[in-house]
Amino acid sequence: MNSLKLTSIIFLCFLLAWAGEAIYLSQQNAATPDRVKAEENQKRNQAEIEYQKKVRELEQEYDKKKYLATGETVLDRIYNTQGQSIIELIQRVSNEVLPNSWSSDVKVEEFTHFILFIYLPHNSQQIGPGQIVSYLRPITEYCGWFLTNVAVFDKSHKSYLFFDKTMLAGIKQNGQLPKKLLARAEKQGQSFTQFNSVIIKCEKHESHLFLPIEVVGNSSIVTCYALLDTGASTTTLSSKVVAKTGFDNLKNAPRRRFNTANGPMSCPIVTREINVGGFRKGIEIAVNQRDDINLLGVNFFEGMDYIVDFQNSSIYVWEK
């Protein structure tokens, strides 16, 4: 009897334990869908947040680069043009920024040093360094990574401003330079004789150099070639060139005798403006009535220095 009662009690306890576990499991299974749903909702919300964040980043990048293909401004379009060289980039940006009457050129030294030369027109006055800086700012903005120096030349082809890399970095960052650096740019420009010469390319024939010259008279302008003759005191032009550029009465003109390779020659003397490599000068001209040869004599180079480079068929000219 006691054994049966003990067995019944054990069986009853087993049933109670089983029932408790069943209830627990049923409660756990009932909570699982809610938990899974909550976790999925959290993941979906996080994904939405990441999506909105990515959209904002893309919109910001688009606003920043939306002009990459074409360009908001002319300078942007120049800068974004594909397939152009660094020299071409600097040259095109400079041409866009500088006044139309100015000219410029870009040279490269030691493969990575790019130098911009700015030339003022022959009929202009020197432009103050502060105004030059205002032109340089957009150039440095687009070309500052490459540009090493900028030299500015006045109407006499003499450099009067020279901006080094430190100055260009200051212009790019601040849009201006303090007076101390502007004064240094002037001092460097005046002492920077390396670029104070103009290179005039010539045509070489045997041992002679022929320069392209422009003859300006009262009636016309004629372009022709003249033989460089450093032994001739006076520039000589053929009577054809003289006749095309003026209405001189050669019979009544003063005359001067010259010793030439073909013997003494008496020539009428007239006046013409001669332009060689941008150097303009009104000088006396001896009229060659014997043949069509033009000679550029040393009277044109008065007040100037020059170096003749026969090997490269060039003449380097600068004002004293």
Which residue among 194, 222, 243 closes a domain? 194
pLDDT band of 53, cuts 50, 70, 90: confident
**pLDDT computed for residue 267 by the predictor:** 94
Stretch among 47-61, 83-97, 121-135 having the lowest mean pLDDT: 47-61
Rounded to two decimals, what is the model's pTM?
Answer: 0.49
* Token pair of 319 as six digits: 């004002």
Q: Residues with Cβ < 8 Å from 136, sequence gap 6 or more?
A: 150, 163, 168, 171
Q: Name the DSSP letter for residue 313.
A: T
Same domain, yes or no: 121 and 230: no
- The C-alpha atoms of residue 35 and residue 40 are separated, in whole angstroms, by 9
Same domain, yes or no: 218 and 172: no
Dihedral (Cα; 233, 239, 240, 246), 10-degree rounding: 90
Same domain, yes or no: 209 and 312: yes
- The C-alpha atoms of residue 11 and residue 4 are separated, in whole angstroms, by 11
Choice between 36 and 120, residue whose per-residue pLDDT is larger: 120
Strand partners, 161: 152
Which residue among 162, 194, 226 closes a domain? 194
- The C-alpha atoms of residue 157 and residue 162 are separated, in whole angstroms, by 14
Choice between 293 and 306, residue whose per-residue pLDDT is larger: 293
| Structural domain containing residue 79 | 74-194
Let me know: does 48 contact 40? Beta carbons within 8 Å: no
pLDDT band of 131, cuts 50, 70, 90: very high
- The C-alpha atoms of residue 72 and residue 79 are separated, in whole angstroms, by 11
Same domain, yes or no: 290 and 203: yes
Which residue among 172, 194, 216 closes a domain? 194
